[in-house]
Structure 1
Amino acid sequence: MFELSHQSLFWVQALGFVSMAIGWWANAQKSDQQLLSGNLIASGLTAIHLGLLGSNLGLFNQLLNMLRFAICRKRVTRAKRSSIYLPLVFASLAFLQGLMWANHWTEWCAVASAVLMSFALFYAKGSELRIAMLMSNLLNLTLSVYLLSWSGIAYQVITIVILSYSLLPVKTLNHSTKPAC
């Protein structure tokens, strides 16, 4: 790992916070397209952030996420999304990353998260996709806690809250059908 000057470190950390904000915005979207597009951008910025901080596993994991989000964003119809090959390739690449770099059970939780998302992004939509992303964030939270990564913990916890809130049923009052007493 190389050393960054204090000023450089400030800008690298700032990039991480920008990525976090974009990720939170993306996860709050009702549209699957916006969810995927926002996470694509956030993954790209996070890849640069983690690469500059010297984390090869983080860099390559985020590049894999970018590729998954980009492909899923372009695959609009469910019939085209039903191919088993792409999810298997992405899951295999995530598992291979784990074999190469994972040294602790929490890192294997992050690998499990990547495998889960390899299938969820291609087969789930709407609330199913958000439930898978919620589970993925819970798995990734274990690694953030283990590493004592405060920005990682903050990102995961707030994302879990955003996704949980988006899954709550929305009750609307129908005033037009009930007569006033």
Structure 2
Amino acid sequence: ISPPNENVVITDPSRPWWERYQPVSYKLCTRSGNESEFKDMVTRCNNVGVRIYVDAVINHMTGSGVSAGTSSTCGSYFNPGTRDFPAVPYSGWDFNDGKCKTGNGEFKSYNVAYQVRDCRLLGLLDLALEKDYVRSTIAEYLNRLIDIGVAGFRIDASKHMWPGDIKAILDKLHNLNTSW
């Protein structure tokens, strides 16, 4: 399924599919429904043998071109300009801004691994996945989804993350829910 976590609301163009890939928080609240509706959908699908795989956006948060405010699917305040995402919470300490060695913080070449993994992708704010706090916060989100009953994940933008960081996050996850 599309990312189930809170995302920015884009109005120009009106509500494009890719707004779902610009997280504001890990609250389960999108134009597809709220947390109780998500839980109901997962349970109903599992009860008839349909397993749910979540598209997990864990590399970044929304970024440039988005104004501060509450224009998000749950109404949470966020400010990409100051790296402030209090509904998570993330702050400037949780992003890779200082690690990228390109002039503007954007990656320039897919042939340079550190640029792909330590720089911003299309202006999206790149999370510092080597930090235990960031890893634990992401793992808590994924564990909540596992506990609800999802069967697995597609990790969006995985090529933009160091393999060791992905492994460290996955090592913190619960076993899958065996209720079904």
Tell me the TM-score normalised to structure 2 length. 0.30
Q: Which has the larger radius of gyration?
A: 1
Identify the structure with bigger relative contact order (alpha carbons < 8 Å, sequence gap 6+): 2
More strand by proportion, 1 or 2? 2
Tell me the TM-score normalised to structure 1 length. 0.30
